[in-house]
Chain A
Amino acid sequence: MTDGAASKASAVRVTAGVQARFSSRTGDRLLAGVAAALVIGLCLLPMLRLLMEAVLPGTDGSWPLASLASAGVWKAGINTLVSSFAATAISALLGGSLALLIGLTDIRCKGVLTLFCLSPLLIPSQITALAWIKMLDSGSPVRSALELMFGTWSGHPLYGAGGVSWVMGLEHAPLIFLSLAAAIRTLPCDLIEAARSAGAHHRRLLITIILPLLKPALLAGGALAFVSSIGNFGVPALLGIPGRFTVLTTLIYQRLSGFGPSILGETAALGLILALLAGMGLVWQRWVLARAPALRSSGPMGPVLPLGRVRPAIEIAVWLVLLFLTVMPLAALLGAALVPAIGVPLDWQTATLENFTYVLTDYQPTRRAFLNSTLLSAAAAIVTAGLGLVLAYYGELRRWYWMRVLDAIADAPYAVPGIVLAIAEILVFLRPLPLIGVSLYGTAWILLIAYIARFLTLALRPLAAALRQMDPMLEEAARLAGAAGPRRLVSIVVPTVRASIVSGALLVFLTAFNELTVSALLWSRGHETLGVMVFSLQSEGAAGAAAAVASLTVVVTLTLAALATLFARRLPKGTLPWMP
């Protein structure tokens, strides 16, 4: 290039740079502003309202916080912590070992195995709990076999702390599985190769190199599992109540059953304890993650730990464990749906489809509920993924302080029990909105708002982790090319973290699809959801119909998964978590 042309080109570049900076700032501020407004409106406001209820004296003059100083609350709190830690440990063991097996070894049929590992997400937790109760009923083959080994039990072995921890552990294992699986995919292979050159065989490689590198992901998944456990209501309701084991969520429900003007304040106070516990867990997790070194991933890695001769034995063991843990509850579900009434044994003569025909034709809300749940869950998945992306982008990559604060706020609505969040949403959104003058209460919108508030953290966590790991130079190069913030987000960041976006959205979809406790207070005629429908049918004694709806839910979810798999060929590898 001659000197004249060079200087002209650089002048153009400078102008473009200045222009880009101005529009970049506006675009950034607009995008970040919208995201911040959404988080404040949907997540912070309800929490503040709860705080208000908890702290200010009630209409009868009582101080809600004083109600916390009772032995019952203390005991329930300890029970919550104990069962949640135990459940998290079980989830870590199960979800973690499966993630390691699938991600690091040469075990076969990885796609199908992954699908099985994720199946607890498909089934509502009360169904799983019920199925386990049935499976270990006195007289059942499994129970008899176990009793031969360990001696007879009086009462039901799952009633109480052990059963609650076990079933919650199973239910939340996919959260740890997903977190670890994503991290394993992005392990830097040169660190592993260096260890192998130094002479490390598989066991040492796993223990001294791979596991320490995976610690942050394990903690992230573990924190999520822990928070899910302390806010879990379905399992302690079914297994804890008969076992005289009360946790904070069932205690809250007890309070709510008491009615009276002071109840709201007391409930809010209890709900905030849960939020506090969750918050402590999440803060600790953040602290650990901040000190962990950021790893730059270096491309896909082949199986690092070939199983060799033990492979068939391990495969059989894994399949057996998965079949026992996932297929058995599904089979119990289907069995309950195919009998005309509870207690009628299932055989060729008694099997009937009348429950299915009832829910599909006679019972009108069913089709509406399917449609509503699908649309609401899909909308929630898309919005939380987008919102999470923006929050994570400005928080982790651009390191804007206030966005990181908002990120922390997003955790709270997930930590409080669903019914408490629903109450908070009602308090905030019952009255018509200030400028628009329309109330969202009684519409599908309040359900969507509640879902977004509750599940934002599920989409945000993996995205924040992925963006922390992204090479900042990718974005810097785009900056120099003149791209403004929002444009960089769309053209550079999104393609890089595609897999985390999809897996976060999927998690939100599956969790929202079966959601019960939040929807129970917020649904209205025409806006029924599946989780509420199953719950209502069950509490009315129509267990067969409830099982039929739950079975159909599983079928629909699997169909959607199959469709997504068909489309996966157009997407890059790793977008769908069960397609390695």
Chain B
Amino acid sequence: MKSMFAAVAALALSAGMAQAASGTLTVYTSTPDQAMNDLIAAFNKAEPDVKVEFFRSGTTEVVNKLQAEFTAGAPQPDVLFIADATVMEQLKADDRLMPYADAPVAGLPETFYDSDKTYFGTKIIPTGIIYNTKSGKPRPTSWGDLTSPNAKDQVIMPSPLYSGAAVIHVGTITAQPEMGWNYYQLLADNGAVATKGNGGVLEAVASGQKAYGMIVDFMAFNGKAKGSPVEFVYPLDGVSMVTEPVAILKTAKNVEAAKSFVNWLLSDAGQHYMTVQGYIPGKAGIAGPEGRPAAADLKLMPASTKDIAGESNEIKKHFADLFGG
């Protein structure tokens, strides 16, 4: 049944018939619930006939659910839309992703998507420093400030042992020649602690438990907008970035709808919606949210996602040696 449908779809495509996508699209994502609902509503304006069903949880839960489904032999989703690329690299290596050669990647930086077109970044989520404005501690300007005496026992960060996005962050920083693992050694000596995810960092810093934290920008800005006494700083030495990539699974049932979803995310309309949601879009020429640097102005620390994904076990082990785990 499944293969017949795919065959018909392929036939239709190859015949060059432009067909509006329809049917049900199943997405597994780590995007927050409300944000996902809004995104789907915006997507449906462009593709009203696609009914999107999604499962949302932390990246770890999502991927493990998927893994279990792989092992049981019946993976459910068509599209995977999660926080970081390390997972995508692993899935690509396991040959689970469908290459989408015709994806509209014009305007996106090359580092944004996989060279084999199996997954595509959708936005720029930098990790920077959040600090509590009521703590009486000075405003940080660079990563080095977190190792200063002012920041002793006052720093909290997401642990790469539990968060793929944190793996990318740690991998990026340790890849910078002036920082490397020495930076994390200094942090450890300064009493920095790790926590499970970005949500924990926001809570700790906003409630005043810790003065400084490493966190993704949009979460800090959301907190500030609600009234928490926090500010976000893009450090002068640069930021690491995750792109919240989207990918189509090889076992997708509704390939047409999946492709239309990817198309929309990478289109101007989709990228503009990222701004509406408070993220910095990846596509050139689309204005970012107010008060945020434009994509071009962001100083990104150079790093290869692929390399970091390959070294993730070493990164975790090294981190565990320093911070326990």
Contact = CB atoms under 8 A, between A and B. Distances in A.
Interface in A426-445: 426-427, 430-431, 439, 441-442
Contacts of A132: none
B71 A264 contact: yes
A343 B228 contact: yes
Interface in A296-337: none
A245 B163 CA distance: 17
A463 B312 CA distance: 49
A344 B207 CA distance: 8
Contacts of B223: 341-343, 541
A367 interface: no
Contact of A341 (B191, B197, B228): B228
Given A241-B196, A532-B57, A342 B325 contact: no
B57 A237 contact: no
Contacts of A133: 209
A293 to B, nearest CB: 47
B227 interface: yes
A365 interface: yes
A431 B73 contact: yes
Contact of A137 (B162, B199, B202, B209): B209
Interface string B38-73: 000000000000000111111111011101110111
A63 interface: no
Nearest to B323: A244
Contact of A430 (B72, B164, B312): B72
A242 B193 contact: yes
A525 B53 contact: yes
A130 to B, nearest CB: 8
Interface in B113-169: 132, 134, 153, 156, 159, 161-164
Interface string A86-104: 0000000000000000000
A253 B209 contact: no
A258 interface: yes
B316 interface: yes
Given A154-B191, A344-B227, A541-B198, A257 B153 contact: no
Contacts of A137: 207-209
| Among B56, B74, B199, B229, residue most surrounded by chain A Cβ atoms (within 10 Å) | B199
B14 interface: no
A80 to B, nearest CB: 14
A3 interface: no
A343 B57 contact: no
B233 interface: no
Contact of A258 (B37, B205, B312): B312
Nearest to B87: A259
Nearest to B199: A539
Interface string A11-30: 00000000000000000000
A263 B153 CA distance: 34
A541 B222 contact: yes
Interface in A123-178: 130, 133-134, 137-139, 154-156, 159
A431 B325 CA distance: 36
Nearest to A259: B90
Nearest to B65: A521
A246 interface: yes
Interface in B200-256: 200, 202-203, 205-209, 219, 222-223, 226-230
Contacts of B60: 253, 256-257
A281 B44 CA distance: 55
A426 B162 contact: no
Contacts of B132: 343
A539 B53 CA distance: 21
B178 interface: no
Interface size on A, as a range, is: 35 or more
B17 to A, nearest CB: 32
A241 B159 contact: yes
B206 A241 contact: no
B33 A343 contact: no
A544 B227 CA distance: 11
Contacts of B72: 426-427, 430-431
A198 B230 CA distance: 70
Contact of B194 (A242, A344, A442): A242
Contact of A263 (B67, B228, B316): B67
A7 interface: no
A237 B158 CA distance: 12
B193 A155 contact: yes
A347 interface: no
Given A134-B207, A242-B193, A264 B32 contact: no
B34 interface: yes
Interface in A211-242: 237-238, 241-242
A344 B229 contact: yes
Contacts of A521: 57, 61, 64-65, 68
A342 B202 contact: yes
Given A155-B193, A541-B222, A254 B161 contact: yes
B57 A520 contact: yes
Contacts of A365: 33
Contacts of A72: 320, 325
A244 B192 CA distance: 11
A523 B55 CA distance: 8
16 contacts: A130-B203, A237-B196, A242-B193, A244-B325, A246-B324, A256-B60, A259-B91, A340-B226, A341-B206, A343-B134, A430-B74, A521-B61, A536-B57, A541-B198, A541-B219, A543-B203
Given A238-B195, A257-B163, A430-B73, 12 more contacts: A134-B209, A137-B208, A241-B162, A259-B164, A341-B228, A343-B223, A344-B229, A431-B73, A523-B55, A536-B32, A541-B202, A541-B222
Closest CB pairs A-B (n = 8): A244-B324, A342-B206, A341-B226, A343-B206, A430-B72, A242-B193, A539-B199, A341-B228
Interface of A: 53, 72, 130, 133-134, 137-139, 154-156, 159, 237-238, 241-246, 250, 253-254, 256-261, 263-264, 340-344, 363-365, 419, 423, 426-427, 430-431, 439, 441-442, 520-521, 523-525, 532, 536, 538-544
Interface of B: 32-34, 37, 53-61, 63-65, 67-69, 71-74, 76, 86-87, 90-91, 94, 132, 134, 153, 156, 159, 161-164, 191, 193-200, 202-203, 205-209, 219, 222-223, 226-230, 312-313, 316, 320, 323-325
